[in-house]
Each structure stands twice: as structure tokens, then as C-alpha cells.
Amino acid sequence: MSGTVADSANALLTVSGLETYFPFGNRWFGKREWVRAVDGVDLTVRRGEVLGLVGESGCGKTTLGRSVLRLVEPTRGAVDFDGVDLLSLKGRGLRAMRRRMQIIFQDPYKSLSPRMQIGQIIAEPLRLHRIVPEHEIEMRVQGLLTKVGLEPYFMSRYPHEMSGGQRQRIAIARTLALEPEFIVADEPVSALDVSVQAGILNILLELQRGEGLAMLFISHDLAVVEHIADRVAVMYRGKIVELAETDRVIGSPLHPYTQALLSAVPSIDPATKRKRIRLPGEPPSPIGAVVGCPFAPRCPEAQGVCRESAPALEPKAAGHFAACHFR
Amino acid sequence: MLLNVQDLASYFFLDEGELKAVDGVSFHVDVKETVALVGESGCGKTIVALSLINLIPPPGRVVRGRILFDGRDLLRMESDELRQVRGGGIGMIFQEPGAALNPIYTIGDQITGVLRLHRSLGKHQAQKAAIELLGETGIPEPEKRMNAYPFELSGGMQQRVLIAIAISGRPKLLIADEPTTALDVTVQADILDLLAYLQEQYGMAILLISHDIGVVADVAERIMVMYPGKIVEIADTEDLFRDPRHPYTKALLSSVPRLGVGHNEPLKGIPGAVPDFLDLPSGCTFHPRCTIGDSSCTSEFPPLVDIGYRRKCACYKAETG
């Protein structure tokens, strides 16, 4: 097998060697430590593709999503968006690129200003980026509301008058206002009830297909990711440990962590009961450097080599990458 | 029958009006049985649980009904008696383990406090029993953890401590309100395993409250489905998943994304949203979102009636048999 995660035809976003560290602890006394939220990530998102990013809380998936948009500044590495080196951009150049890449946040109760009417919320990006002349804004906003399945009369409403599902639709409409090519959707349905969640997922899928959007879909919920993603990346303590087509990751996972994660998902079909793989120990702390494989302390198959050298994310089958010495 | 709840109603008296969070709920839990109460957020599940142990915060209170626990009505008990039931008869764990533990006391203090109060143990006995309990709930190095403060433990470990506290009085019934919602999926599975183990070990009944029908599928023997203020369906777990009868249960099950069924299939959600308690639709409150309802559904809420062996449903249109 040859090739790396980064060389992919048709890549829209290419992330290589990305590290995002946060300082931790006292600067003057004791040892200065770093929270290694993103600790060496290689990734591509292809044009028109939904890449699912899964992992448990604290594994760095949100920081990775924000780093590729430069909503937090990466420490090292490179992010290439459609041939442009994002990390070297400043000011106006960065703002122009941001038009093409947008984000949907997890909590629609926090991401919408309570003091603005829905119409203003959706129009704001249109005005800031001067997308359309003032007299066309209202029509554009109405069109966006229709796209996300809301009636135009919502324009004069305030967020507190709306349910969680409706708010998330507003957040999506605001994201779409700039007609981006790439969206980071950070747990967009986690705060919603399951009956409402389905509606939002369907809208995202429809829009993604209709407009050929590329999406980095971040979620802790494997069933949701399976539903929406073309490929899935599994993250553990700041690193991608497995990356492949969705059916392969769900159906024939290679990495021991992916296998354990999948086995823990509760099933509502008594017929498809999975055998639980129990992981000893606790989810890892992201503080400080790791020697060897980050999963080794909990891995049921770990050997000496796993504690000494970190496995690289390598192709194990066509398009199926895993970071494990024994796969 | 360990717990028998009859026509329980708990209202909140707000400036905006009467909020009927629980409005005529009847169910039972057998000895050593695991029963789940599922429903979406804001449907009144937690208020059912708080009603059982009379801990509803004002301006809410239980307005009618009977809660027979071991044959005695909890609603007609003096507060001393009730406190004994809370300590010994019924244990409870909550969703946010971090919020349920006192941040300024060590784990040991919090467990021994309960043990000394409810099992009247001396200081040393309590210490010993606490270490045993922590070990029993799967906390590594329990002696060491006795001196830890809650913030030093992970969410999963905090929940284990709370479970240790909840079972310290050897309850006959454990009420677990969203015990795994704040936890990661691998930790969630561990906690569910632990509950099943403890149930076996102590012969407890468990009332498991969850918004996630997937979580309860593995552990519950029976499931009760709640829609604002009411129970709309009760059935054995297998029957409920194989053959749901209430349109809400059917819709809820079809909107759950299932792992391993392939991707890119549109999910069936439920149109609209869970209604606002202060602005409930007339008649069956599900009728505006229901696909089989008609004009007969708009006048009165359908009663929860037997529709087959060990199953009940509150729908005029539900098939029986």
C-alpha cells in the first residue's frame, strides 16, 4: 500500500501535521505544561464530501474543527484550503476565505444573539460581506428560511420564541447565507431531541447534496455519523487513529479503539447485539507529551513496541487508514 | 408489586398559569424489576421521579394520586418516615454527577455521612463500609479515593461514587434519572453494566429514566413512554421495539439513527416539536404531530388502557391484541 492520508485527488481541505496546544498551569512556578488538544493530525476533506469526525469528549475534535477555520490558532502544521495556505493569511485575505468556510455550533441556545430578530441574524453575514445590495436582503433571507424549512414570518421573531430545532435551522440558514463551499458542523444535533434531530440531519444532507457542500461533521454519536458521512475519521487524544469510508469504519473497523467504541453503542435492535469490548482505565488526559501509541495504556492488544513508538496513520487497505502497529 | 403509582399528578403554579408537568400517571414497578421511563426533554420524566420521593421544588407540588411503596402511601407519610424511606427504601442518582456531589467535602465524608445517618454505623464501621461500597461500584484504589474531592474524579468515577451513595442504604428501589447522559459512550456502557450487576447483587428494582431509547433497550425489562405529562404506552421491551402501538412510540423509534444500517437514508423525524406545557393542544396532545389521528382525537386525552398481554396504550386508534 502506498500513499498518505494527505494525498487525495479532489481535496478541498488538506490538513497536515496540525498541532494545536494550549498552555496549562502556572507560567512562573513549577513546570509549564501543554494541553495537546490536536497533536499531529493529517486529514483531507474532498469536494462535496461529508467527513465525519468522531471521538469521545476531550479528544480534541472541536479544537480540530476550529483550528482548520482558524477560530483558534494552530501551534504548528499546515492547512491548505483549495490551494491557499490558510495559516499564512491575515486580515482581509483571511476574511475573504472565511466567506467560503463556515461553522455550525452545537448549542443553538448560545449561538444566536437573543437581542436580534431572526431576520437580522441571517442578514448579518450578508451585510458584513456585502453579498447583495440592501434592497435584496429581505428576499434573500426569506429564501434562506424556506431552504431550512421555516416560514418567512419567522423573520420578525426572536430566538427565545423558537424551539431548539427551529433555532438550529436558523443557525444553518445563517451559515448558508454566504454560500460557503465548506462547513464545519460541530455536534449540530447533540442538543436536540431525537424526533427533531432527524429533521435537522435531513436538511443538512439535502443541502449538502443540493449545493455540493463539503462538510466536516463532528459528533460523538456514531449512529448519527454513519447516517450522514461519506468517510469517517476516528480521533483519540489529539490524533486520528482510523480513517476510511463510512461502511468500512462501521462494518470492519481496524483500530482497537474504533472496535471498542463501536461495541459500546447501545442498540435498539435486539437482533444486532454487539459483543462489548471493555476498556480498562479512564479516558486519557490531554496534558503533556505521549510516548508511543496514545491508546496503548487501555488497549487490550498492546505490546512493548506500542509503549515505545507511536504508530503512524498508514494505509492498511485501499483508502483505509489506521494508526496501529498490529493491523 | 414494590411500587404502585396511581393517578399521580404534579403541577407547578406559575404566574403564567398551571403547568401540569405530571398529569394523571399510573404505573407499577415489581420487585427486582428494571423499568424504564422514556420521553423527550421536558415531558415530565424527572418530575415523576421527584414526585416519588417528594422532592419537587416549589412552586411545584403533588396535587393528587397515590404512591404505594411496599404497601405504604409515600404521599401520606410524616417527614421523618419519608426520610427513612429515602435513605433506606429508595435511592436516587442524577444526571449531572458533578452537580450532585458537594465540592467541598471529600468522597469519603459524603459516603460515610450517609452511612452513619441511615445505617447508624460508627465512624470506623462507616469508613470500612464506604471503602467496600466504592470497591463494589468499580472504583480503583477505593482507600485512596476516600480522600479525593469530587473535582479530582472523572465524570464516570463521580457517577460511581453517587451510585455507591445511593445504594449505601441497601434500597429496594433505585431511581436513576439519566444516569449516563452526561457521559461518553464507553463510560455509559460501563455504568449500565454496573447497574445491572448491582441489581443482581442486591436484588434492587430500578426505575431508569432516559431520553435515549437506545440506552434503555439493553437494560430494561419494561418500557414506559411519556409524552408531556402522560404515559402513552407501556410494554415489555421486546414487544415495544418489535411492535410499537402508540403513534408517538412508532415515530420515536423510527427517528433514532441505528448503527449498521447503512448511511444516507433519510431519517423519519416527527414534524413539529414537543408542545409547550402552558399551551398544550386539546384532547390527545400528540394529535397535531400524529399521522393517523382524526377529529375524534381533539376532544379528550385517551385513557391508558390494556391493549394486550402486559401492554397498555393511550390512543383511540391503536390496534389491540
Q: Is residue A2 over pLDDT 50?
A: no
pLDDT for position B293: 86
pLDDT for position B3: 96
Q: How far apart are CA B85 and CA A41, in angstroms?
A: 54
A287 in reach of chain B (CB within 8 A)? no
pLDDT for position A7: 59
A113 in reach of chain B (CB within 8 A)? no
B265 in reach of chain A (CB within 8 A)? yes
With CB atoms and an 8 Å threshold, state whether B263 touches A228: yes
B315 pLDDT tier (thresholds 50, 70, 90): very high
* Chain B (204-263) residues lying within 8 Å, Cβ to Cβ, of chain A: 211-215, 217-218, 238, 241, 251-253, 255-263
Range in A31-35, A102-106, A292-296, B311-315 the model is least confident about: A31-35
A133 in reach of chain B (CB within 8 A)? no
**What's the CA angle centered on B49, arms B46 and B54, to 5 degrees?**
120
A251 in reach of chain B (CB within 8 A)? yes
Taking contacts as CB-CB distances below 8 angstroms, the residues of chain A near B40 are 193-195
User: Among A7, A76, A5, A69, which Cα is nearest to A37's?
Assistant: A76
Q: How far apart are CA B254 and CA B251, in angstroms?
A: 5
The answer to whether the beta carbons of residues B198 and B166 sit under 8 Å apart is no
**Which among A56, A223, A283 has the least Cβ separation from residue B259?**
A223
Mean pLDDT of chain B: 90
A267 in reach of chain B (CB within 8 A)? yes
Taking contacts as CB-CB distances below 8 angstroms, the residues of chain A near B189 are 263-264, 266, 276
Q: How far apart are CA A155 and CA B133, in angstroms?
A: 56
Disruptive mutation site among B181, B186, B210, B289 for chain A (greatest number of A CBs within 10 Å): B186
Q: How far is CA A268 from the centre of its chain?
A: 26
A276 in reach of chain B (CB within 8 A)? yes
* Chain A (308-327) residues lying within 8 Å, Cβ to Cβ, of chain B: none
Handedness of CA A118, A120, A125, A130 (dihedral sign): positive
Q: Which three cell numbers stand for residue B268?
A: 423519519
A30 pLDDT tier (thresholds 50, 70, 90): low
**Which among A165, A198, A279 has the least Cβ separation from residue B186?**
A279
Q: Is residue B212 over pLDDT 80?
A: yes
Longest CA pairwise span in chain A (Å)? 68
A268 in reach of chain B (CB within 8 A)? yes
Q: How far apart are CA A185 and CA A50, in angstroms?
A: 10
The answer to whether the beta carbons of residues B7 and B24 sit under 8 Å apart is yes
Segment B145-192, tens digit of pLDDT: 999 999 988 888 899 999 999 999 889 999 999 998 878 888 888 899
Taking contacts as CB-CB distances below 8 angstroms, the residues of chain A near B154 are 282-283
Q: Which three cell numbers stand for residue A219?
A: 459528533
Residue-range domain boundaries for chain A: 11-100+213-322
ipTM above 0.85, yes or no: no
Which position has the higher pLDDT, B129 or B120?
Answer: B129
Q: How far is B264 from chain A (nearest CA, A)?
A: 5
Q: Is residue B25 over pLDDT 90?
A: yes
Question: What is the number of other CB atoms lying within 10 angstroms of the CB of residue A26?
Answer: 10
Taking contacts as CB-CB distances below 8 angstroms, the residues of chain B near A273 are 218
**Which among B241, B251, B270 has the least Cβ separation from residue A270?**
B241
Taking contacts as CB-CB distances below 8 angstroms, the residues of chain B near A251 are 260
Q: Is residue A174 over pLDDT 90?
A: yes
B132 pLDDT tier (thresholds 50, 70, 90): very high
Segment B77-115, tens digit of pLDDT: 988 888 888 878 999 998 888 888 999 999 999 999 989
DSSP class of B86: I
pLDDT for position A297: 92
Segment A54-96, tens digit of pLDDT: 998 889 999 999 999 999 999 999 999 999 999 999 888 998 8
pLDDT for position A27: 66
Taking contacts as CB-CB distances below 8 angstroms, the residues of chain A near B273 are 163-166, 193, 196
Please give the C-alpha separations between residue A76 and each of A17, A20, A89, B295, in angstroms, as whole numbers: 7, 7, 14, 64
**Which among A220, A227, A263 has the least Cβ separation from residue B257?**
A227
pLDDT for position B271: 81
Q: How far is A169 from chain B (nearest CA, A)?
A: 13
Q: How far is A163 from chain B (nearest CA, A)?
A: 7
Segment A110-155, tens digit of pLDDT: 899 999 999 999 999 999 888 889 999 999 999 999 989 888 888 9
pLDDT for position A1: 42
B291 in reach of chain A (CB within 8 A)? no
Mean pLDDT of chain A: 89
Q: What is the mean pLDDT of residues A288-314?
A: 92
Percent of chain A with pLDDT over 70: 94
Segment B223-271, tens digit of pLDDT: 999 999 999 999 999 999 999 999 999 999 888 888 877 655 677 888 8
Q: Which three cell numbers stand for residue B115?
A: 452511612
Q: Which CATH superfamily is domain A11-100+213-322 in?
A: P-loop containing nucleotide triphosphate hydrolases (3.40.50.300)
Range in A26-40, A219-233, A245-259 the model is least confident about: A26-40
Strand (E) or helix (H) holding B321: none
Question: What is the number of other CB atoms lying within 10 angstroms of the CB of residue A169?
Answer: 25
Q: How far apart are CA B62 and CA B39, in angstroms?
A: 20
Q: What is the mean pLDDT of residues A25-40?
A: 80
Handedness of CA B48, B54, B58, B59 (dihedral sign): positive
- Residue of chain B minimizing CA distance to A272: B260
CB proximity list for A303: less than 8 A, separation 6 or greater: A325, A326
A282 in reach of chain B (CB within 8 A)? yes
Q: How far apart are CA A184 and CA A69, in angstroms?
A: 8
- Residue of chain B minimizing CA distance to A206: B266
B32 in reach of chain A (CB within 8 A)? no
A215 in reach of chain B (CB within 8 A)? no
> How many contacts does A have with B, using Cβ atoms within 8 A?
134
